[in-house]
Amino acid sequence: MKTTLRMLAGCGLLLTLVGCVESEKPLSSAATAQQDVRLHGLWSHSDGGSTAYILIGAAEDPPAESGRPPVEPGMMRYWSLERNDETQKLAPPSGAQFFCTKVGDHDFGNWISPATKEEPAKPETYFFVKYRVEGDRLSIWLQDPGKTAAAIEAGKLQGTVKRRPANASFNPGGVESVRITDSSENIRKFLADGGAVSCYPEENRVTYQRVR
């Protein structure tokens, strides 16, 4: 569970010990997205001696600096902070911008991974996080690399899968990374046809409680 919390704390990367899932295309256009005000606020989850806090709200609009492009009205921002409950030490905060897409009965956040100073030519990519708000409870599911890789290898979704060498000391032959190259429309269809459940298993779920 602690690994999952660290993954959620860095959703801009979503790197895990067993791989990651990224997409070249978002589920929908950020230009048409709307704020999901149910997410706005401060949430917390305690587990194994640490407490994770996430603060969600609208991304800054208008831009803080002249010359910057305007922020889409539906763009949201996520900040995460983890506290060691024994020492009271705080890990450095992390955050990411995202926008929401509805696929059937399921809600998704399109987490944006922009180009960095280290990789200025890197194209913008996306990570899909499923969520559900029930009163003062927020459940978040991370996309499962193994199950998504299986869907790609079965031809249900276009993409590439990178696996570890068969003689690797850790997780030999396991999924190292997954990149979805399909269109937004086809990804939504895949999720609506069952991928929203099969690629987001319950063991990848973390539930937060609203603080305010």
pLDDT tens sequence for the chain (212 residues): 444 444 444 443 333 334 579 999 999 999 999 999 999 999 999 988 899 999 999 997 655 556 666 788 999 999 999 999 999 999 998 888 999 999 999 999 999 987 666 666 667 899 999 999 999 999 999 999 999 999 999 999 999 999 989 998 888 888 889 999 999 999 999 999 999 999 999 999 999 999 99
β partners of residue 1: none
Rounded to the nearest 10°, the torsion over CA 11, 187, 176, 126 is -30
Gyration radius of the chain's alpha carbons: 17
